[in-house]
A = this chain, B = another copy of it.
Amino acid sequence: MIRIVAPALALLLTTASFAAPPNVADLRDARDETAWEILDGITTEVGQRLAGTPAEARGRDWAVAKLKALGFANVHVEPFTMPIWQRGEESAEIVSPFPQKLVVAALGNSGATPAGGVTGEIASFDGLDALAKAPDAAIKGKIVFVNHHMTAQQDGGSYGEAGAIRRMGPSIAAKKGALAIVIRSIGTDHHRLAHTGVQNWAESAQPIPAAALSVPDAEQLARVLERRKPVMLHLTLGAHMAGTGTSGNVVAEVPGRDPKAGIVLVGGHLDSWDLGTGAIDDASGLAIVTAAAKRIMITGKPRRTIRIVWFGAEEPGGFGGDAYAKAHVGERHVLVGESDSGADRVWRLELTAADTKGPLADRLTLALAPLGITRGHDAAHGGTDVAPIAKATGAPVIDLSQDATRYFDIHHTADDTIDKVDPEQMQQNVAAWTAVLAIAAEDRDELSPVK
């Protein structure tokens, strides 16, 4: 494996003396600072980028300027409208038997408490099943607390299960007449920073105040409840819907040599939650796929067009992915993928189910193997941003699974800041996506569409 630094690579490849496209391994193993520059720039110069707000709009302005400066073609914004939710003030405290403050963060689409807050007795459940099975009488007029256990996993699988408490718990509690609901944060850390995240009200549910306690605070509340005295909680949430606003997808391209060869789409999302600076979720994803595309771009035109999309408004419900699918359903996408699980190393390649075998799948597998990436056996599903276009067009999907062991320590908290990103692991991600783009934008084969 030859390692050459990017300036040398650029020099080598921008001279007219070569005929063949550059070796995939050389591209993959080059090193440059583009990803870090993007990550550092957007988290420092924009900060948090809550969907539909002026902060996200500043993010789009920053994105357009940066993508143009990097040399991409056809840089533009594709705007769309969406409902806006805002956080407002938030606080929680145990009133009795042991008065003390708790750390809390409203969940997306949470309702507000009355201005002075709401006080209620805690009705405690150890999971979603227990909440669902409880009689209305055990919940009506009370503040529901749902505790649970979530353990860090490399594939992030525990987020699916524990996350159901956040996604469904508020609606269940509301339908049973709860005053409000507080859940243990869907997170694997032990810091006093609550994990926010979206939840959507079931059709028959009237919105109530819904929030997450930090993990240490949830454990504290559980210890207080173990004393077997009634526990009264006072909760104040200013969360509210704030009308319709504008978000947008920022699009940039490396134009291909052959307009009929189709598009390879890679992306991440520009918006973030409002508590941190959205470094691992998902500035690092933008940084990784953009740096990879740039590495292809500086070597000359690939056969297919590489399209980068910095999706807007992913967090509140994938509005950017839906808008993209609607606008681009008529275009031929030969491969779609995104990076949206932080910046820790890629450990697994997943492809569309039809492609568990085949020469192109083998070429991708071989190119990723030197990075420590192995072939998985599940079907790739894409993420919130690219799943809609895959569904609408049947486009083949690629997943480069990132190590999620640390991801849910930080995810959706104030701690989502640049210091949590390991530059070496981010380089490995850039290398992996570079190899994928080098092959997918040039290869004579295509992966099979999803049936």
A379 at the interface (CB under 8 A from B): no
Whether, in the assembled complex, A205 has its beta carbon less than 8 Å from a beta carbon of chain B, the answer is no
Residue A169, interface by CB 8 Å:
no
**A98–B49 CA distance with the chains assembled, in angstroms:** 12
Known: A192-B193, A193-B191, A193-B192. A45 touches B98 (CB 8 A): yes
Q: Which of B46, B193, B216, B418 contacts A419 (CB 8 A)?
A: B216
Please encode chain A, from 412 to 441, with 1 for each CB lying within 8 Å of some chain B CB and 0 for all others: 011101111000000000000000000000
- A299 CB to closest chain B CB, in angstroms? 31
CB closest chain-B residue, reference A62: B98
Q: Could you tell me if B47 and A100 are in contact, using CB atoms closer than 8 angstroms?
A: yes
Check if A257 is an interface residue, CB within 8 A of chain B. no
By the criterion of a CB under 8 Å from any partner CB, how many residues of chain A are at the interface?
32
- Interface of chain A residues 212 through 258 with chain B (CB within 8 A): 215-216, 219-220, 223-224, 227
Specify which chain B residues have a CB less than 8 angstroms from the CB of A224 in the assembled complex.
44
A48 to B216, CA, bound (A): 14
* CB closest residue in chain B, given A40: B223
Chain B CB count within 10 A is highest, among A97, A98, A100, A191, for A191
Chain B nearest CB, measured from A407 CB (Å): 16
| B100 and A419 form a contact (CB under 8 A) | no
Q: Which A residues lie at the B interface, using CB under 8 A?
A: 40, 44-48, 97-101, 103, 190-193, 215-216, 219-220, 223-224, 227, 276-277, 413-415, 417-420
Which 3 A-B residue pairs are closest in the complex by CB-CB distance? A47-B100, A192-B414, A216-B417
A-B contact pairs, 7 of them (CB 8 A): A44-B224, A48-B101, A100-B277, A190-B417, A215-B419, A216-B417, A219-B419
